[in-house]
Structure 1
Amino acid sequence: MTRLARLCVIVFLTHICASTATAQTPPGQSAQMPQDAPPSASSMLPFQDAYSVYRNLESGNFFWGGLGITYFNNQLFYTVSLAPELAFGQFGIGIDLNLRISQSGQLRQEDWNDGISSYLRLIRYARYGFKQEPLYARYGQLDAARLGHGSIMFLYRNNGSYDARRVGFEFDMDFGDAGFETIVSDLSTFNIVGIRPFVRPLRNSGLFLLSGLEIGATFVGDFDSNSNLQAGSEATLTGRTENGQAIFDLDAATRRGSFLAFGIDAGLPIVRLPMINSDLYLDGVGYVGYGVGVAAGISANIQAILNVLVVSAKLEQRLFTDRFQFAYFDAIYEQDRFRAIGGGAITRANELANTKGGAGVYGELGGSILGIIRLYGSYQRLYATPRAGQLHLAARLQSNDLPVLLRADYFKRDLGVETDLFTVDDRSLGQAEFGYLPYPYLLVSVLYQWSFTPVRGENNTILGYRPLERIEPRVSLNVRF
């Protein structure tokens, strides 16, 4: 499917969603909130999921610029960075300029390998609104993309590798009676495209909690040529493994077209109070040519306890057949999709094809204390499936009244035993920064980052990714206005 065809499909489906919502609204009334609409669960205080509580949807104007020294796998570079963020009402824009200069006076080549895209990526993001608001759009780096309850795509990132950052796009609209969520991972290729239309069929029924019933359907497709590459038979295996994954003969591999995922979901509010919200939800997901999974869960949100604490949590039971994984499009999917290794390859699709079915549990918790300390954690544990644990931890300590700063974010998948939790490898992604502010506008800090750098072949083609360790002591200017 060409990029134009994929774009046409998204435009057509979003038009259908918008037309449906408009058709259900009487003339002369707002499509978002009719003036005579009865009280409903969907019009109460908006529900914040655990990650949204952690991320904090506050906006403002911020200038950040710094000087430092960066070590990329023991290679030293001098750095000059500029990263202002500006907000104008619902609009926001972030810039990300990094000049890394080697000891010989040359710019780091990997930062500028992608031609015009290297310059377009200087705009880290441009947005309107925030996720879960009636109108949301984001252009640039996507660092926490999700659709619905996240059973297919959850906290997907198109920027796991700084040297192969993509320019993506998210666009969501909520008309009240219906709406949609969309994502394009890379506007230059349209490789990953996703859409989730949803309806609230009982919104104007006057039935308080039932009026919040939401039913959705999700489609995500990965049209990259390596998205569905598998070992065709036992004969194609090389006998080698890396981190538990089989390396197979690339020349004898089987390409099965594009990777396609479909899902349906339903969510129902069970509590809507000024301080407490809670929902039940049910998801069903299937991957074409692979397996299916079902997830049932409950989420809850407690807001502003004595103006001190905000907490959001989710607990989910998961059941699935062979050849299935929940949240297939995750934080390191772009790096996991395909890796060429010494004439062989490891692919995410081949890992999926060899996954055994079973059951498990998933939970997440996010919180904010006085708006100063923000925490997030999630963990998946499958009862009988080896190497299927998944962990995400994040923390932030930041305030204009404190002389210290802490930011940390860590993701790891395919955990076999708990002793692997903090062993960084090719299934890990993380960064941490600790700093001291001798003055309110001056930050002295050390940044540690574990990410990925592309391995390139002929014509600058990306053959895969390898882990990249970065350590950066720096002094930066921080001004909010």
Structure 2
Amino acid sequence: MKLSAILFIIILSLQNLIAQIYNEPKPDEGFITGGAGLIWIDGQPHYRISFRPEVSFSNFGVGLDLNLDFDSQGKLRKENFNELTDYLSIIRYVRYGYKNDPVYLKLGALDYYTLGHGTIVNYYNNSPTFDARKIGLVADIDFGNFGFESIYGNFAQAGLFGIRGFVRPLKFSDAGNIPVIGNLELGASYTTDFDKNATVLSGSYDSQKGEFVKTEDKGALTIIGFDIGLPIVKSGFTTLLLYFDYNKIVNFGSGMASGVKLDLNGLGLVELSAKLERRFNQNKYIPSYFNSFYEIERFKLDTVTNTFSSKALALHNVGNDLNGFYGDLLIRVLGLFDVYGAYQRLDKDPKSGILNLRTDVSPKDGSVILRAGYDKINIQDEKDLFKLDDRSYLFTELGYKPIPYIIVSIVYNWTFSPERDSNDNIVGYKPQKRIEPRMYFVFPINF
């Protein structure tokens, strides 16, 4: 293809927004995004057709996400539609309510879900790759005096399930009107992963059968937790919460965490949320076990070297007395920017660093767009902090608005692609690089 034709396609590229860096529409709003263009996947050019509308009617919301990638021969890329969930995931989500509403239901892609205080399930992502998207369900209901939070990660096969029930016992009597103590909350959690590789400890790859043969595992990976939370300050502008969690990983170890969480709402213009947590980890225990990398870490098989790694094996080898700190901070200036950061470091484990960063600088009436996110696990030192490898996930978009509804930008993704055995089963993930020059439209809809 001539260079001029390639440049023409790049300039006219109308690409879809990425869910992790774009907020869902507010009630009675929506937007339509789509187009056709060029994308480089692992250095190979593909032609993309995309269509992604999202609409919200009152408390209901629906989002579609259709992507068709064709190679230079005009053939549809295999990973676009090689599983049933690839077809189902065209409906990216169906939603009722928003997170922290009295009723919140969401079916589809689950981006960075947290259960309770986050000491078991923290920013879990059920679709860390574009090429094996999954359909899950979140159901959170708060009846005032009691309620529950729940998640199921993957309807296509056995996977992560978690539920946390909570009660505010003093609300059932006049004691619920007592300042501070009246808001006491008690919770209990049950979280388990039914995936067949959730607790693999030993095994080998059988090349004749084309499958991994386990010689030791412990069945489902189950964590039971109990927590207590006390909002010592609770008003329309400020919430200060003290909490304590105890968790037990069945057949492994246990751990505890105590923390403080502060939320400030400056008249709807500036929001700040901060959390600091001290973690007390015993032998064979990993805090926030189901995190944003869990689907990647659960099980990886190298059929060339006949070796494997699993999170359960890492859990089995964890030593004792690995206490540490966890903290996060969110600053949101409405209409201007969002900045979020979280970090974990254990006292005696040099490879325990976990980093999460997010930013969205896209003023409604501004002309510059900057959206970025970065996840990194098993960080050893400062040199390791921003090195892109199989422990990293990155997305960035830098763009400009020549007119209000058109954005010209460059997008870079360091993500993952699934690796499959001879029976087409996913046995691991490998890093994947995507580069997308874009010129796309975002057309708002007001009802």
What TM-score does the superposition give when structure 2 sets the normalisation length?
0.89
| CA distance in 2 between partners of 1:253 and 1:404 (Å) | 55
1:381/1:56 Cα in 2 relative to 1: closer, same or farther (>3 Å)? Answer: farther
- 1:79 alignment partner in structure 2: 48
SS in 2 for 1:392: strand
SS in 2 for 1:208: coil
RMSD: 1.8
SS in 1 for 2:170: coil
Q: Deviations over 1:129-181 (max 9, x none)?
A: 01211111000000121210010001100110111111000111111111011
SS in 1 for 2:313: helix
Identity of aligned residues (%): 39
- 2:326 alignment partner in structure 1: 362
SS in 1 for 2:101: coil
SS in 1 for 2:147: strand
- 1:30 alignment partner in structure 2: none
* 1:331 paired to 2:331: no
Q: Deviations over 1:4-33 (max 9, x none)?
A: xxxxxxxxxxxxxxxxxxxxxxxxxxxxxx
Give the aligned residue type for 2:279.
Answer: R
Give the aligned residue type for 1:215.
Answer: L
Question: Does the 8 A contact of 1:67 with 1:475 survive in 2?
Answer: no
222, 241, 253: which one aligns with 1:279: 241
- 1:128 alignment partner in structure 2: 96
Give the aligned residue type for 1:398.
Answer: S
SS in 2 for 1:477: strand
* 1:210 paired to 2:174: no
Question: Does the 8 A contact of 1:180 with 1:197 survive in 2?
Answer: yes
196, 208, 224: which one aligns with 2:164: 196
277, 281, 287: which one aligns with 1:320: 281
1:134/1:96 Cα in 2 relative to 1: closer, same or farther (>3 Å)? Answer: same
SS in 2 for 1:202: helix
Q: Deviations over 1:272-329 (max 9, x none)?
A: 2332210000000110111111100000011116x54211100111111121111110
Q: Deviations over 1:446-470 (max 9, x none)?
A: 1111111111123321111111111
| CA distance in 2 between partners of 1:55 and 1:155 (Å) | 16
Q: Deviations over 1:171-205 (max 9, x none)?
A: 11111111011111011224211111110001242
- 2:306 alignment partner in structure 1: 343
Larger deviation, residues 452-461 vs 165-174? 452-461
1:348/1:328 Cα in 2 relative to 1: closer, same or farther (>3 Å)? Answer: same
| CA distance in 2 between partners of 1:68 and 1:304 (Å) | 42
Larger deviation, residues 137-146 vs 55-64? 55-64
Shift of 1:57: 8.3
* 1:96 paired to 2:57: no
Q: Deviations over 1:331-356 (max 9, x none)?
A: 11111111111211011111111122
| CA distance in 2 between partners of 1:218 and 1:65 (Å) | 41
Shift of 1:58: 4.0
| CA distance in 1 between partners of 2:282 and 2:23 (Å) | 33
| CA distance in 1 between partners of 2:150 and 2:229 (Å) | 19
- 1:109 alignment partner in structure 2: 78
* 1:470 paired to 2:434: yes
Shift of 1:66: 3.0
| CA distance in 2 between partners of 1:454 and 1:302 (Å) | 41
SS in 2 for 1:117: helix
Question: Between Structure 1 and Structure 2, how many residues are aligned?
Answer: 411
SS in 2 for 1:126: strand
Q: Deviations over 1:72-107 (max 9, x none)?
A: 111110112111110000000111111111111111
| CA distance in 2 between partners of 1:297 and 1:254 (Å) | 37
| CA distance in 2 between partners of 1:271 and 1:58 (Å) | 29
Question: Does the 8 A contact of 1:66 with 1:474 survive in 2?
Answer: no
Give the aligned residue type for 1:210.
Answer: I
Q: Deviations over 1:356-415 (max 9, x none)?
A: 232111110001123320010000111111210100000001122111111111111111
Question: Does the 8 A contact of 2:24 with 2:54 survive in 1?
Answer: no
| CA distance in 2 between partners of 1:403 and 1:99 (Å) | 29
- 2:222 alignment partner in structure 1: 260
Shift of 1:251: 5.3
SS in 1 for 2:246: strand
24, 37, 48: which one aligns with 1:68: 37
Give the aligned residue type for 2:357.
Answer: L
Q: Deviations over 1:108-145 (max 9, x none)?
A: 1111110x322110011110001211111000000121
Summarize the alignment of residues 26-425 of structure 1 with structure 2, pairs less than 5 Å apart: 58-59=26-27, 60-114=29-83, 116-203=84-171, 204=173, 205=175, 206-231=177-202, 253-304=215-266, 308-341=269-302, 342-357=305-320, 358-425=322-389
| CA distance in 2 between partners of 1:313 and 1:326 (Å) | 19
Give the aligned residue type for 2:324.
Answer: G
| CA distance in 2 between partners of 1:119 and 1:137 (Å) | 21
- 2:13 alignment partner in structure 1: none
Shift of 1:231: 3.7
| CA distance in 2 between partners of 1:256 and 1:276 (Å) | 45
Question: Does the 8 A contact of 1:225 with 1:257 survive in 2?
Answer: yes
| CA distance in 2 between partners of 1:366 and 1:313 (Å) | 6
Unaligned runs of 5+ residues in structure 2 are 1-21, 205-211
Question: Does the 8 A contact of 1:264 with 1:283 survive in 2?
Answer: yes
Question: Does the 8 A contact of 2:336 with 2:361 survive in 1?
Answer: yes
| CA distance in 2 between partners of 1:130 and 1:378 (Å) | 22
Larger deviation, residues 261-270 vs 207-216? 207-216
SS in 1 for 2:195: coil
1:370/1:121 Cα in 2 relative to 1: closer, same or farther (>3 Å)? Answer: closer
Question: Does the 8 A contact of 2:336 with 2:364 survive in 1?
Answer: no
